[in-house]
Amino acid sequence: MTNRVLKELSTYVLEVGESITGDEGSVYIIKNKDTEVIETETRILPQAYGYLEQLQAALDATMDMQADVPLSPVFNLDSYKH
């Protein structure tokens, strides 16, 4: 069975498909588009939408924090004197 995409964000996608845990029936799957890793699955659609938004918001916040941190200057061993 091919999973059907319900919603796609910049990094994550919400799909409906078969459970990876072997349970019978369809589930809602949150998958990382870049790594193809299934982050979570649930049978409750509103919960799946909540997970999708939370995961994307957490990743975006982390990326924003990293963008605000200045890079360390490169240490030049040639200029280092004892």
pLDDT tens digits, 26-53: 999 999 999 999 999 999 999 999 999 9
Q: Is residue 43 part of a domain?
A: yes
pLDDT greater at residue 73 or residue 52: 52
Q: Is residue 72 part of a domain?
A: no
Placement of tokens 């200029």 in the chain:
79
pLDDT at 9 over 80: yes
Q: Is residue 73 part of a domain?
A: no
Greatest CA separation for the chain: 69
Q: Is residue 57 part of a domain?
A: yes
Q: Is residue 77 part of a domain?
A: no
Q: Which of 48-52, 59-63, 69-73 has the lowest mean pLDDT?
A: 69-73
How many domains would you assign to the chain? 1
Q: Is residue 78 part of a domain?
A: no
Q: Identify the domain containing residue 52 by its residue range.
A: 4-66
User: What amino acid is encoded at 26 in this protein?
Assistant: S
Q: CA-to-CA distance for 82 and 64, rounded, in angstroms?
A: 39
Contacts of 42 (CB under 8 A, 6+ apart): 27, 28, 48, 51
Q: Is residue 71 part of a domain?
A: no
pLDDT greater at residue 23 or residue 62: 62
